[in-house]
Amino acid sequence: MWLKDSSIGRKLVMSISGLGLVFFLLFHGCMNLALVFSEEAYNWICSVLGANWYALVATLGLGALVLIHFLYAIYLTIQNRMARGKDRYAVTAKREGVEWESENMLVLGFVVIGFIVLHLANFWFKMQFTEIMHMCGAEDFAVATFGTVYAPTDGAGMVKALFTTPIWGQVYCVLYLVWLTALWFHLRHGVWSALHTMGFNNLVWMKRVKVISAVVATLVAGLFAIVVLYYLGYGIGMLCV
Amino acid sequence: MDNYIDIKVRVWRQAGPKAEGHFETYELKHIFQGASFLEMIDILNEQLISEHKDPIAFDHDCREGICGMCSMYVNGHPHGPDSAITTCQLHMRKFKDGETITIEPWRSRAFPVIKDLMVDREAYDKIMQAGGFVSVNTGGVPDANAIPIPKAHADEAMDAASCIGCGACAAACKNGSAMLFVSAKVSQLALLPQGKVEAAARAKAMVAKMDELGFGNCTNTGACAAECPKQVSLANIARLNREFLCAKLKD
Amino acid sequence: MATKKATAQVITPEMAKIPAGPLEKKWTNYKDHQKLVNPANKRRLDVIVVGTGLAGASAAASLAEMGFNVLNFCIQDSPRRAHSIAAQGGINAAKNYQNDGDSVYRLFYDTIKGGDYRAREANVYRLAEVSNSIIDQCVAQGVPFAREYGGLLDNRSFGGAQVSRTFYAKGQTGQQLLLGAYSALSRQIGKGKVKMYNRHEMLDVVMIKDENGENRARGIIARNLVTGRIERYFGHAVVVATGGYGNAFFLSTNAMASNGSAAMQMYRHGAYFANPCYAQIHPTCIPKHGDFQSKLTLMSESLRNDGRIWVPKKLEDAQRLQRGEIKGKDIPEEDRDYYLERRYPAFGNLVPRDVASRAAKERCDKGYGVNNTGLAVFLDFSDAIQRLGKDVVEQKYGNLFQMYEKIVDENPYEEPMMIFPAIHYTMGGIWVDYELQTSVKGLFCIGEANFSDHGANRLGASALMQGLADGYFVLPYTIQNYLSDQIGVPRMSTDLPEFAEAEKGITEKIEKLMAIQGKRSVDSIHKELGLVMWDFVGMGRTAESLKTAVEKIDAIKKEFWSNVYIPGEANSLNNELEKALRLADFIEIGRLMAVDALNREESCGGHFREEYQTPEGEAMRQDDKFSYVACWKYTGEDSEPELIKEPLDYEFTERKTRNYKS
């Protein structure tokens, strides 16, 4: 199977799974934006995306994408390290035109995935997962946020609690911002690289594709960051009062 | 203005493919900055020979930047800290008095060390043998002007074709990928009507050979193009990807 | 014995196998009547090709395509690195795409004239004839020649011609042509029709007597440069395409490993060395800058299309330049002497290479040199930049300008380039007949390594043409005329005593060299030889200088064989040993060049004897006495070579004094 056996095939898998995840993030980011305007609207979206069959299928798909992206990344990296040979260079220098993130995608990927686990624990675990547990009969399954249990569909409540609870809320905000920064770097190279791997590039579009990539990365990270910053401001405001 | 400088060179010495290598440091006095880097190595070797020591083995031939034979990793850069040149065109004016210069061989699994700074780059020949050609025999070809080729295509093909096969791309790449080399040839021939006929088969064959020989997977870091002495563009890699993917999807 | 010697002293056209008939029919006639080898028999024949430059790679590929088994050798790590790759400017062909009156005859005539009437008419005509096929072949291979906006091929002009017939690929024509030939070769290697031996150096030809007691080349001894092992290879025929011997001068535009050893091996087995004194000195190289220098870098002749060559008119300006007090651009227009335009109004800066080189030497000898050593002239692009704009100049010559800037650390867009002549190409080489076969049966020699097509001087962009003509279109035909008789000869074992003997000879030579353990490095002796060659066998030669050269070279030979130091082991990778083996041959070649130059009491092309010049300093041929190819026959290690002449009768062209003035 050339998607596994050829280098370009493997990269195509990375590209497509990566771009799929970018689309999800864009959707997720837009959805989050609702929080800033109306908590009810946000909760309505949460209820639509609960443990419904289509949401579950999408979740499974999403999980598969993450898994593929992650496994291929590990596979490619092992191969690439082997390709370097056993003796490493004693001196390495910065190369002009080579962005830092492009050579550190795996590290950035680990940072991103680490936070995803935290993020799942913070929200998904208390929302969709809890609903699934309820459907499976574990009626009293519930996880609290800073001591308060919110209904699985009260996403807004959870978000607000997580990000505005004094001190811990601000710590979370900063952590999420760090995560988004890593994500921004990961996507700035990732989107460009995916398009390049899929062959959407030439001499003329070289710079343009890089700009497109930066725009997408900024859009994704920005959408999330707006919400975090909004609550950071809110939380600090509460502290001052 | 070029002056005379004293330097130290820290050179990778390795007796043979299986032997353990190590760094050895040598002092060189009164080196003219107008000398080329390889002339500096010549001077060092003369010094070693006069001390009845084994001179440093290194590849070099044309010394005008076109044969692609010289291959030194100088201070963290293939072909050293200057742009768009090969090691033989690097000059000592790029270095300062008292500087320690570290020289290593290309390090890539597909380019095993033969001795000291000399590596085996036959892998590139093998990739070429897999498909880096147009299948025409001598004689019986149409007139050279029979097929007009847009100047832009011819020029772009020429830029891709300027690759000298030195291996700096794979040496610079943290993934040990040979994509820039392969893409340069695939691009050159895909851009010209003469090469177009076999473009799909060529892309598949060359990529398969590249993978088989143990080169890594390209992650588009761009280190290859940044270090390429002939400034072969990264855009060629996109074209190779396109050619390859189209070929596979058609199968 | 005496009578035999007397008859052997002249080579007749029949002996050179020149076909009968009118000039333009000779090649066609030859092909129509030559013997061929049928496909089934081709598979049974092995051909050894040594060298992978334009001639070697194209021959190996073409022979393999035809069905022969080819064994191909190169000293570099890959066949793609042969020094043909460094040719910059272009390749000539008589396509007349520019509609400027070009024709096969005109290309033939320009080449004969450019060679100062010292080349064989039949060979040169054939060269001009096949030139067009070369361009077709290269385009079909995907060589990205420069094109016009209409999509058709572009041309530029080169020295010694009044038409634009030079095809080019930026300033990297040699590279692109070689990569074309290399790709064809790669295809055959991939198919298993060519067995490629990289990092192998030929050290001897193996001769085996046939049933008539006649010696035939049947293989080679080669040294594996990685392991140091001496290896034996059999071939029904041996083709040598190892390039020229310009590195006898140590400093030249040749690659570091370019050498004349294969030629000397053939010479020692009875192949004649023809016209060794014809060496081309290229006018536009970057001047020498120090004793540590390892090579000279060429700036393409194409630069003379748009660049203007000059020195100051006033001696005091030149002296101030030499002291570094002023720069070239500080000298006003009226004080510049565009000496080529002044002396040769018709061709101007585009006179042939020998003429341009001598003119530069003449100015520098008179004290008008423009750098600190006084050995440089200006090549100025300010006019072209004004006329065409910097962008156009950059597009045409960008890579050459960049190369100049990296080496000299001066911006040639602002300061005029400084150039000086340097050894570039050797027209002389192993004598071959019309079939490119040497005077030894079964031993062929193609490309720069043979003597055949350029006479006493080679025109720019003709080396690529000759290399590819020999390899693609001539040898693959002519070699069949020989091989058709060899189909009954089985593959021979390399255990035969002749192979063992040849290997023993090599091993002993290497042991002898390794045992000297003297005090001098190989390079230090090579540099000494180079200086002698440049000073006494260089651009201006006299009987006296040449006699001095012979004496000095003999002394260098003695020094070499008694005082060279080679570190390391013979049976491992040993670069110093490689160089020493090559230098041993360069010393012999240098001497042969001096002996030949001393014999040739005339000035022609690249060979300039100061005793034979016109009052204006132009070369003066002595057609009545020296209209012949001087073929030197080896007579033994310490005896003088024997001179055999191949008279050059010009049947189809009128011999004139070369005139580039009007």
Distance CA C295, CA C559 (A): 23
Q: Which domains does chain A have, with CATH numbers?
A: 2-82+103-240 (1.20.1300)
Range of the domain at C593: 497-623
The domain that holds C371 is classified in CATH as 3.90.700.10
Does the residue C611 lie in any domain? yes
- Asked if C81 lies within 8 A of B139 by C-beta distance, the reply is no
The answer to whether residue B107 neighbours chain A at the CB level (below 8 Å) is yes
- Asked if B207 lies within 8 A of A202 by C-beta distance, the reply is no
Length of chain B counted residue by residue: 251
- The answer to whether A69 touches A14, Cβ cutoff 8 Å, is yes
Q: CA-CA distances (angstroms) from residue C599 to A106, C509, C529, C556, C617?
A: 74, 31, 21, 22, 21
CB-CB: which of A12, A85, A102 is closest to B107? Answer: A85
- The answer to whether C427 touches C452, Cβ cutoff 8 Å, is no
The pLDDT of residue B245: 97
Same domain, C503 and C604: yes
Q: Which residues of C are catalytic?
A: 353
Pick the closest to residue C581 from C560, C552, C563 (CA basis).
C560
CB-CB: which of B214, B222, B237 is closest to A83? Answer: B214
- pLDDT, tens digit (0-9, with 9 covering 90-100), for C402-438: 889 989 999 999 999 999 999 999 999 999 999 999 9
In total, how many domains does chain C have?
2
Which subunits sit against C, judged by 3+ Cβ pairs under 8 A?
B
Tell me the one-letter amino acid at C200.
H
Does the residue C540 lie in any domain? yes
Residue C141 — very low, low, confident or very high, per pLDDT cuts 50/70/90? very high
Same domain, C522 and C417: no
User: Mutate which of A3, A14, A95, A192 to test chain B, going by most B C-beta atoms within 10 A?
Assistant: A95
Distance from the Cα of residue B45 to its chain's centroid: 24
- CA angle (C331, C334, C335) in 5-degree steps: 50
Distance CA C25, CA C185 (A): 31
- The answer to whether A113 touches A182, Cβ cutoff 8 Å, is no
Q: How far is B139 from chain C (nearest CA, A)?
A: 7
- The answer to whether B114 touches C573, Cβ cutoff 8 Å, is yes
Same domain, C412 and C517: no
| Radius of gyration in angstroms for the set of CA atoms belonging to chain A, rounded to a whole number | 20
CB-CB: which of A91, A105, A202 is closest to B239? Answer: A202
Last residue of a domain, one of C399, C422, C445: C422
What residues pair up with C195 in beta bridges, in sequence order? C71
The pLDDT of residue C162: 87
What residues pair up with C379 in beta bridges, in sequence order? C309, C417
Which subunits sit against B, judged by 3+ Cβ pairs under 8 A?
A, C
Q: How far is C378 from chain B (nearest CA, A)?
A: 20
Tokens of residue C568, six digits: 């390391």
Tokens of residue C429, six digits: 């080489």
Name, in order, each residue with C-beta under 8 angstroms of C477's C-beta and a sequence gap of 6 or more.
C30, C31, C34
The domain that holds C603 is classified in CATH as 1.20.58.100
Distance CA C501, CA C510 (A): 14
Distance CA A71, CA A78 (A): 11
Does the residue C256 lie in any domain? no
Distance CA A196, CA B220 (A): 8
Question: What is the average per-residue pLDDT within A131-159?
Answer: 89
Distance CA B68, CA C179 (A): 12
Distance CA B158, CA B150 (A): 12
- Indicate left, alpha or beta for C389 from its phi (over 0: left) and psi (-120 to 50: alpha): left
Question: What is the average per-residue pLDDT within C506-527?
Answer: 98
Distance CA A16, CA B233 (A): 24
Tokens of residue B250, six digits: 């058609």
Tokens of residue C434, six digits: 């019309």
The answer to whether residue C140 neighbours chain B at the CB level (below 8 Å) is yes
Distance CA C473, CA C134 (A): 8
**Which pairing describes strands C443-445 and B73-74: parallel, antiparallel, or unpaired?**
unpaired
Q: C-chain residues within 8 Å CB-CB of B110?
A: none
User: Distance between terminal CA atoms of chain B?
Assistant: 61
- Asked if A196 lies within 8 A of B234 by C-beta distance, the reply is yes
Neighbours of C387 (CB within 10 A): 11
Length of chain C counted residue by residue: 662
Is the model's pLDDT at C99 over the cut of 70?
Answer: yes
Q: DSSP class of residue C101?
A: S
The pLDDT of residue C399: 81
Is the model's pLDDT at A145 over the cut of 60?
Answer: yes
Neighbours of C649 (CB within 10 A): 10
Burial bucket for residue C7 (CB in 10 Å: 0-12, 13-18, 19+): exposed
Burial bucket for residue B2 (CB in 10 Å: 0-12, 13-18, 19+): middle
Tell me the one-letter amino acid at C465.
M
Average of per-residue pLDDT values in chain C = 95
Distance CA C221, CA C226 (A): 15
Query: If you count residue pairs, one on A and one on B, with CB atoms under 8 Å apart, how many are there?
Result: 148
**Which pairing describes strands A148-149 and A144-145: parallel, antiparallel, or unpaired?**
antiparallel
Same domain, C414 and C525: no
CB-CB: which of A82, A91, A193 is closest to B219? Answer: A193
- Asked if C476 lies within 8 A of B69 by C-beta distance, the reply is no
- The answer to whether C248 touches C593, Cβ cutoff 8 Å, is yes
**Which pairing describes strands C215-224 and C230-234: parallel, antiparallel, or unpaired?**
antiparallel
The residue to which tokens 């005859």 are assigned: C105
The answer to whether residue B78 neighbours chain A at the CB level (below 8 Å) is no
Is the model's pLDDT at C5 over the cut of 70?
Answer: no
The residue to which tokens 């807004």 are assigned: A156
Q: How far is B151 from chain C (nearest CA, A)?
A: 5
Q: Is C282 helix (H, G, I), strand (E, B) or coil?
A: strand
Does the residue C16 lie in any domain? no
Mark whether A and C touch (3+ CB pairs within 8 Å).
no
HSE of B123 in the Cβ direction (CA atoms, 13 Å)?
30
Does the residue C637 lie in any domain? no
Same domain, C297 and C410: yes
Q: A-chain residues within 8 Å CB-CB of B12?
A: 90
Is the model's pLDDT at A73 over the cut of 80?
Answer: yes
Distance from the Cα of residue A71 to its chain's centroid: 16
The pLDDT of residue B22: 97
Q: B-chain residues within 8 Å CB-CB of A91?
A: 73, 75-76, 102, 104
User: Distance between terminal CA atoms of chain C?
Assistant: 52
Which helix H or strand E contains C61, and what residues bound it?
helix C54-66
- pLDDT, tens digit (0-9, with 9 covering 90-100), for C149-172: 999 999 988 888 889 999 999 889
Is the model's pLDDT at A33 over the cut of 60?
Answer: yes
CB proximity under 8 Å: B 195-234 to A: 207-208, 210-211, 214-223, 225-227, 233-234
Tokens of residue C458, six digits: 């080679």
Same domain, C605 and C506: yes
Q: C-chain residues within 8 Å CB-CB of B134?
A: 140-142, 183
Distance CA B185, CA B240 (A): 9
Alpha-carbon dihedral angle through residues C49, C55, C60, C66, given to the nearest 10 degrees: -130
The pLDDT of residue B2: 84
Q: Is C521 helix (H, G, I), strand (E, B) or coil?
A: coil
Tokens of residue C60, six digits: 């190996």
Distance CA C346, CA A35 (A): 85
For residue A15, report the phi and psi dihedrals to the nearest 5 degrees: -65, -50
Distance CA C56, CA C436 (A): 13
Same domain, C418 and C511: no
Query: If you count residue pairs, one on B and one on C, with CB atoms under 8 Å apart, how many are there?
Result: 219
Residue-wise burial string across C90-99, b where 16 or more C-beta atoms lie within 10 A, e elsewhere: bbbbbbbbee
- Asked if B144 lies within 8 A of C95 by C-beta distance, the reply is yes
* Residues of chain C above pLDDT 90, percent: 90
Average of per-residue pLDDT values in chain B = 97
C-chain residue closest to B133, CA distance = C183
For residue C312, report the phi and psi dihedrals to the nearest 5 degrees: -65, 150
The contact set of A with B (CB < 8 A) is: 2, 5-12, 76, 79-80, 82-93, 95-99, 102-103, 105, 189, 192-193, 196-203, 206
- The answer to whether A187 touches A221, Cβ cutoff 8 Å, is yes
The answer to whether residue C42 neighbours chain B at the CB level (below 8 Å) is no
Chunk chain B into consecutive blocks of 10 residues (it has 251) and report each block's average pLDDT, rounded to whole numbers. 93 96 97 96 97 96 96 97 95 97 97 98 98 97 97 97 98 97 98 97 98 96 96 97 96 88
- Helix, strand, coil fractions of chain A, as percent rounded to 5: 75, 0, 20
Q: How far is A78 from chain B (nearest CA, A)?
A: 9
Contacts made by residues C621-626, CB under 8 angstroms, sequence distance 24+: C621/C116, C621/C117, C621/C657, C623/C117, C623/C655, C625/C601, C626/C600, C626/C601, C626/C602
Tell me the one-letter amino acid at B138.
T
Residue C8 — very low, low, confident or very high, per pLDDT cuts 50/70/90? low
B-chain residue closest to C519, CA distance = B50
- CA angle (C266, C543, C600) in 5-degree steps: 50
Pick the closest to residue C589 from C459, C454, C449, C422 (CA basis).
C449
Last residue of a domain, one of C623, C638, C657: C623
Last residue of a domain, one of C393, C422, C451: C422
The pLDDT of residue C356: 94
Neighbours of C614 (CB within 10 A): 10
Is the model's pLDDT at A192 over the cut of 60?
Answer: yes
Q: Which domains does chain B have, with CATH numbers?
A: 4-114 (3.10.20.30), 121-250 (1.10.1060.10)
